[in-house]
């Protein structure tokens, strides 16, 4: 019988993730997921179905998780303690099934329990992340899609749609399992929200990244913004049940499955898209680092070095967040960002009042592991009533969730 300690309300207790591995070639990807989870300080336990053992060994996952991996052989062993599936089900904070096969999907959709994994699912109440993987024709079968949609009507289950690409059967199409980093982000979200979907039915409009104001085809005025904060906001909103539109400047990351992404380059382009989508949004988060000025003149051909002006004439770009504030309806929530050095509260508060925002995020860009390009951030949230909440250094995903907690509550 495993040594599974009882849960505690102490926040210092490690988070606990139980991973169920189905029988599919994508099972090899689970090795990376288990390794990342362990390295991030999360306790991991793994269950393999009998079919999964044909693709990856229990020893591999036991080594990566630093704990024995469970199989049906363990399930059917007599014990003098509590049943294994009950212990595992009560132990987990989040349960992940990856890859989710058509067989396991059908069992879950109809509440069947004939092995350790499916019994554990029914013996638990924690949120469940589902990452299906199968051949395109299998995935697109009416019966499989019916089971998938039926299962997702249960609020416990959080599905990550399959991606399209080259499959192991050499077919190109839908059916690829989500990559481990994407599954990891979903797990981190659910560990924060405990599976709640408090943005269900809401439409969230987010701007992200920096804009570029070109002088000629190769030279521009820009900033170091990477859009990572906006990406984290989109992920957090999506995982909380929102319909998400992400308007972003040039970026070097993949758009999460389920997010409507609209790439732009200049402030004027971002302005046009944000205004177009404003009316249908419930929450608008303006996290983009929009340029303040642009070259007054633009050359369609690259300027020779000798032709560059000694003094570059500039003109202002549209103040997007101020325009959004003027047009927004009473039911809409508009949140701005203020990247600052030194005193971050005073200029952020002035910006909130001047531009008539509902809330603003003041974050320092002169602190280590904070601001542009970092995976981490820290901030002070302010609302129009003057309430302040300080956010200690944390991942940008965690900060995104705390921002939504602040705004929703």
Please identify every residue annotated as catalytic.
169
DSSP 138-195: HHT-HHHHHHHHHHHTSTTEEE-PPEEEE-TTS-EEEEEPPPHHHHHHHHHHHHHHTT
- Residue 79 CA, chain-centre distance (Å), reads 40
Q: How many CB atoms lie within 10 A of CB 247?
A: 26
What is d(CA 65, CA 56) in angstroms, rounded to the nearest whole number? 14
Q: φ and ψ at 159, to 5 degrees?
A: -95, 140
What is d(CA 39, CA 59) in angstroms, rounded to the nearest whole number? 18
What is d(CA 312, CA 220) in angstroms, rounded to the nearest whole number? 12
What is d(CA 151, CA 158) in angstroms, rounded to the nearest whole number? 9
CB within 8 A of 295, min separation 6: which ones?
213, 214, 215, 221, 312, 313, 314, 315
- Residue 405 CA, chain-centre distance (Å), reads 15
What is d(CA 31, CA 64) in angstroms, rounded to the nearest whole number? 7
Report whether 92 contacts 14 (CB < 8 A).
no
């Amino acid at each position: 019988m495993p040594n599974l300690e009882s849960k505690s309300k102490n926040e210092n207790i490690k988070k606990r993730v139980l991973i169920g591995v189905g029988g599919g070639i994508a099972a090899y990807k689970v090795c990376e997921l288990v390794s990342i989870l362990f390295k991030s300080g999360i306790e991991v336990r793994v269950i393999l179905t009998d079919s999964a053992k044909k693709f990856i060994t229990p020893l591999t996952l036991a080594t990566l998780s630093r704990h024995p991996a469970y199989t049906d052989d363990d399930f059917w062993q007599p014990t003098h303690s509590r049943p294994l599936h009950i212990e595992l089900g009560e132990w987990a904070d989040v349960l992940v099934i990856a890859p989710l096969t058509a067989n396991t999907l059908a069992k879950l959709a109809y509440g069947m329990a004939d092995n350790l994994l499916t019994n554990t699912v029914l013996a638990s109440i924690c949120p469940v992340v589902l990452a299906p993987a199968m051949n395109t024709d299998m995935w697109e079968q009416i019966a499989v899609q019916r089971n998938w949609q039926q299962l997702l009507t249960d609020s416990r289950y959080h599905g990550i749609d399959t991606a399209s690409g080259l499959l192991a059967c050499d077919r190109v199409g839908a059916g690829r399992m989500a990559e481990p980093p994407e599954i990891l982000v979903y797990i981190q979200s659910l560990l924060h929200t405990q599976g709640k979907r408090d943005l269900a039915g809401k439409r969230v409009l987010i701007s992200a990244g920096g804009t570029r104001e070109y002088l000629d085809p190769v030279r521009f005025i820009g900033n170091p913004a990477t859009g990572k904060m906006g990406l984290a906001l989109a992920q957090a909103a999506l995982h909380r049940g929102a319909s998400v539109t992400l308007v972003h400047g040039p970026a070097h990351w993949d758009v999460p499955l389920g997010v409507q992404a609209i790439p732009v380059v200049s402030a004027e382009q971002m302005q046009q898209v944000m205004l177009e989508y404003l009316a249908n949004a419930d929450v608008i988060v303006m996290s983009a680092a929009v340029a303040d000025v642009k070259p007054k003149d633009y050359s369609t051909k690259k300027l020779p070095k000798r032709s560059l002006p000694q003094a570059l004439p500039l003109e202002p770009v549209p103040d997007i967040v101020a325009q959004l504030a003027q047009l927004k309806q009473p039911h809409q929530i508009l949140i701005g960002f203020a990247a600052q050095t030194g005193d971050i509260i005073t200029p952020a508060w002035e910006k909130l009042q001047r531009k008539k925002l509902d809330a603003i995020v003041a974050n320092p860009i002169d602190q280590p592991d904070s601001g542009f390009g970092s995976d981490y951030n820290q901030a002070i949230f302010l609302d129009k009533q003057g309430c302040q909440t300080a956010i200690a250094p944390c991942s940008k995903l965690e900060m995104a969730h705390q921002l939504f907690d602040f705004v929703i509550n």
